[in-house]
Structure 1
Amino acid sequence: MFKKILVPLDGSQFASRSLKYAVEIAQRFDAEIILMQVEKLATPVTVSNGPQLGIQSPAAAKIAVQIALDEDKRNIAKARRYLSRKVREIKGKKIVCSYHVNIGNPAESIILYARKKKIDLIIMTSHGKSGIVRAVMGSIADEVVRNSGKPVLVIRPNKRSKK
């Protein structure tokens, strides 16, 4: 039933909670787990040749672009280290596991990757935003559920009971 399970992670401890579900399902169905992290590109400051705020010289623009590229490289390297650790943990449980790092829009990247790799199940967390924050920012999990065409198991944060 489930042979390929995609688990998008963002490096947070909360997102890692989805791993225990992925491991249990993978063991039950003898499935492969693919961990994924999507990094957004660092945006250099605006380049302008007019009186607006921004960088005025080509040399300064080149420096700004280089700084953004260096930040992207650091973020990708950090994501790879994080995912490599998680892959080792999962492989220790005798499960086939690999990882993929992508750059771009998180929801769109997850959806496209799931289709391309013929993923059978996506397991991800939702940070539980609600109200105005969710209306303005949207939810990556919501977008994946609505547009992936794949079964999606969404893990929500535990609400602590007030005593």
Structure 2
Amino acid sequence: MSEKKQILIPLDGSPFSLQVLESVKQFLPPEEHRLTLLQVVAEPMGIIAGPSQPAAAAGGAYTPMYNSHQDALRAHHPIYASQEEESKYGAVRSAMQDVFKQLEAWGYEVDLAVRFGEPVAEIVNFIRSRKIDLVAMTTHGRSGLSRLLFGSVASELIHRLDVPVLLLRPFKRV
């Protein structure tokens, strides 16, 4: 038997993006295809306090003064970008578990991947670093001004990739 075709399914965390899965099931049999679910999320920034303001104090001692109680707490207990990344990574993988289990129940071999950054760039880099045979995804179907303002990940991918892209524009909104 020949090697299974590698199918990448980019997800954005919305129920809308999952609608492509029924078409994948219908047209891409599990005996011939292995699926990779990829979700790209914004890079973590970390949460730290803004700079403190010097406050006049008796005896000339420096006493930091913050704009809010939250800023004071963050100054003493900052959340670093690496901590936020670990937290987001775990949350995204956890959220993908139901989809993962459903696809396995349908008979597919499934991998989960999470990347941080700009969606188009990360998807393109992911594809170039692996042997992906097809990208299957749902398009939000924006047109006119909303497409101009928000762009289209699907449209950008079509122009930047050299692998086939299966696009589904669902009949119903979720």
Q: What TM-score results when the alignment is normalised by the length of structure 2? A: 0.73
Report the secondary structure of 1:149's partner residue: coil
**Corresponding residue of 2:165:** 152
**Corresponding residue of 1:21:** 23
Partners of 1:89 and 1:78 in 2: how far apart? 18
1:33 matches 2:35? yes
1:120 matches 2:142? no
**Corresponding residue of 2:56:** none
- Contact 2:31–2:108 (Cα < 8 Å) also in 1: no
RMSD: 3.2
Aligned residues: 156
Amino acid across the alignment from 2:125? L
Report deviation, 1:142: 0.8
1:48-85 per-position Cα deviation (integer Å, ceiling 9, x unaligned):
87x9xxx999x957856x16555443332221012222
Report which of the two has the higher share of helix.
1
Max Rg structure: 2
Report deviation, 1:106: 0.8
- Contact 2:7–2:134 (Cα < 8 Å) also in 1: yes
**Corresponding residue of 2:91:** 78
1:22-71 per-position Cα deviation (integer Å, ceiling 9, x unaligned):
2233317611011111111234579887x9xxx999x957856x165554
Report the secondary structure of 1:136's partner residue: helix
Q: Give percent identity, aligned residues only.
A: 29
Partners of 1:98 and 1:5 in 2: how far apart? 10
What stretches of structure 2 of length at least 5 have no aligned partner? 54-65
Report the secondary structure of 1:27's partner residue: coil
Partners of 1:101 and 1:126 in 2: how far apart? 20
Compare 135-144 and 72-81 and name the one that shifted more: 72-81
Report the secondary structure of 2:29's partner residue: helix
1:8 matches 2:10? yes
Partners of 2:49 and 2:109 in 1: how far apart? 46
What stretches of structure 1 of length at least 5 have no aligned partner? none
